[in-house]
Amino acid sequence: MTDLLHVKVVKVGIADMNIIKPPHSIRTSGLGSCVGLVIYDEKKGIAGLAHVMLPDSSLAKSGQINVAKFADTAVKELVHLLVKEGARMPFLKAKLAGGAQMFQFASGGDLMRIGPRNVDAVKKELLDLRIQVVAEDVGGNSGRTIEFKLNDCLLNIRTVNKGTKSI
């Protein structure tokens, strides 16, 4: 039986990432237009979470970039960290949540669709790496908090004014 005193929730901030092994869980909050991406290897018992803010690192100002902030760099870096810790590429799976359209703009320009663009960018990177998306809860216009537990590989999603569900 797991000693509950030694189970901790690893918190991931905005534009951040981390990995866990059993019996811990991993959580991020403040997912509006941001995407919370969980990648895991169920058999090896390892998972990682990235809180992605923007779709493309070309949007970064010059200088050192935060790789966790952008979909194109965060997905690759999270996979690198997981493989370094023993995960196997062919067995990686992904779950994602977030990507809401938090504000409505009269112009409707593509640049203001940050949430949907984040989701598309994350999915493109996962497709390029041949990582299957097994579940998602994206879009809408409400913020989310997510927590992933390796013991059942469920992603628990608490959506503002909509309750909790697991995928």
DSSP annotation string for 135-157: EEEE-SS--EEEEEETTTTEEEE
Question: Within the chain, which residues score under 70 in pLDDT?
Answer: 1-5, 104-111
Q: What is this structure's pTM?
A: 0.92
* Domains of the chain: total: 1
Q: What is the CATH number of the domain that holds 71?
A: 3.30.1330.200
Catalytic positions, written as ranges: 34
Domain membership of residue 120 as a residue range: 2-166
Backbone torsion region of residue 16, taken as left when φ is above 0, otherwise alpha when ψ lies between -120 and 50, otherwise beta: beta
Nearest to 114 by CA among 152, 81, 141, 77: 141
